[in-house]
Amino acid sequence: MQARARSASPRRSKRTARGRFITFEGGEGTGKSTQTRLLAERLRSQGLEVVTTREPGGSPGAEAIRHVLLSGAAKPLGPMAEALLFAAARADHIDVTILPALSRGAWVISDRFADSTRVYQGSLGNLDPRMIEALERVTVGDTRPDLTLILDLPAEEGLARAAARSGAGADRFEAEDIQFHRTLRDAFRELAEREPARCVLVDAHGAAESVAAAVWDAVGERLLNASQKMEKAG
Ligand code: TYD
């Protein structure tokens, strides 16, 4: 009951926070966690407080749900149940980690967020888009990202990178076939086209530093104020 009371109000009220909320999205092995780290370092060097986090997870309650999802234990329940679990994890993540940080003026960078549910459970899981929208309305509410960076790489290249990283232990979604990952890439690209005011598609080929430079350009263009831009040039 206590957790429910805690989670009911903040998402319904308008966010008055000064902090900025950035998310990284994309397929497997596109470099989201590396780019999350590099962007956080760069923003901190500008004197900003930055909180990095990830989904599924990012709070103790959500990390417990992460285990259920990525072990494949929830797969037999179907995409609808998985979407509900991702949403439950997200609600806790927002309440415990994201909103408190944004409200004190920190910048929050999340490695995946609600767009992953739209794409993995919505597009790939064939769930009714109205169901996904309804879930987003009740879990995310006003806590929408100010900027979403979608890292784009051919499915084969991303999977090869992910396999090199995790060895034989592919998780629930990495273990899907190549066609799944191709459709995933297309769905993320379509999302970037549909929401150009929030999303920037970033070519994730090449060295981490060159991808980070493209990310930084997008952040500078969309979010940094004039004085911070001058620091950037100097
Ligand atoms: P993770 O180990 O964090 O992998 P990655 O480096 O690819 O982000 O695993 C998260 C997996 O969960 C990933 O395959 C995408 C999937 N996912 C969803 O299906 N729906 C969601 O809402 C989220 C946040 C993640």
**Tens-place pLDDT, residues 214-230:** 999 999 999 986 545 54
Closest residue (by CA) to atom 14 of ligand 1? 173
Residue 231 pLDDT level (bands cut at 50, 70, 90): low
Q: Is residue 137 part of a domain?
A: yes
CB burial of residue 10 (10 Å; 0-12, 13-18, 19+):
middle
Residue 1 pLDDT level (bands cut at 50, 70, 90): very low
Ramachandran bin of 72, using left for φ above 0, alpha for ψ from -120 to 50, beta for the remaining angles:
left
| Encoded tokens for 171 | 């998780």
CATH number where 150 lies = 3.40.50.300
Q: What is the pTM of this model?
A: 0.90
Residues 69, 144, 181, CA angle at the centre, nearest 5°? 45
Q: Is residue 201 part of a domain?
A: yes
Q: What is the largest CA-CA distance in the chain?
A: 55
Say if ligand 1 is within 6 A of residue 112 CB.
yes
Residue 143 pLDDT level (bands cut at 50, 70, 90): very high
Say if ligand 1 is within 6 A of residue 120 CB.
yes
**Tens-place pLDDT, residues 117-133:** 999 999 999 999 999 99
Q: Is residue 8 part of a domain?
A: no
The CA 55 to ligand 1 mean position distance, Å, reads: 7
